[in-house]
Amino acid sequence: MKAHSATSEDAITSHGIRLTPQRRYVYEALMEKRDHPTASEVFMRAKARMPSISLATVYNCLDALTESGLIRQVYCERGSSRYCPNLVPHGHFFCKTCGVVFDVPIDPAQEASWEFPEGTQLEHVEITLRGLCPACAQKQTTSLL
């Protein structure tokens, strides 16, 4: 496979979204550490580079980036929404103990095996998986001994 060196600017312009410096900082804050941060975590990271940015601006940028399809909003039952820049089809695993969220790749071929009423148009797949992350599972096993 050829090395891919797309910059955030390439990605942003290819999605037809106007690149403002604020949007770029917000997008880069998501790309630098792919740990599904909440809006306030993104705000802290963006603020480190652009001290004048406000939380309201961060929310606006996140909305614009989500609408353009460049990032995904991840809904959590408890707590604030998180944001994910991974555009490859994937589900989200939530650790019920430490709250860590990680991506789980999904084989698109699986969707072919789902049964829908005839005429259904599938537009969006949101897969949530819950359990214990490896670190928490390990702790639980050792505490039971």
Judged by CB, which is closer to Zn ion: 50, or 90?
A: 90
8-state DSSP, 79: S
Q: What is d(CA 67, CA 72) in angstroms, rounded to the nearest whole number? A: 9
Query: In the complex, which residues of this chain contact Zn ion (CB under 5 A)?
Result: 84, 86, 95, 97-98, 100, 103, 133, 136
Q: How far is the CB of 29 from Zn ion (least distance, A)?
A: 15
Q: How far is the CB of 101 from Zn ion (least distance, A)?
A: 7
Compute the residue count for the chain: 145
Judged by CB, which is closer to Zn ion: 54, or 141?
A: 141
**Among 143, 127, 145, 123, which Cα is nearest to 135's?**
143
Judged by CB, which is closer to Zn ion: 14, or 97?
A: 97
Q: What is d(CA 137, CA 142) in angstroms, rounded to the nearest whole number? A: 9
Q: How far is the CB of 60 from Zn ion (least distance, A)?
A: 22
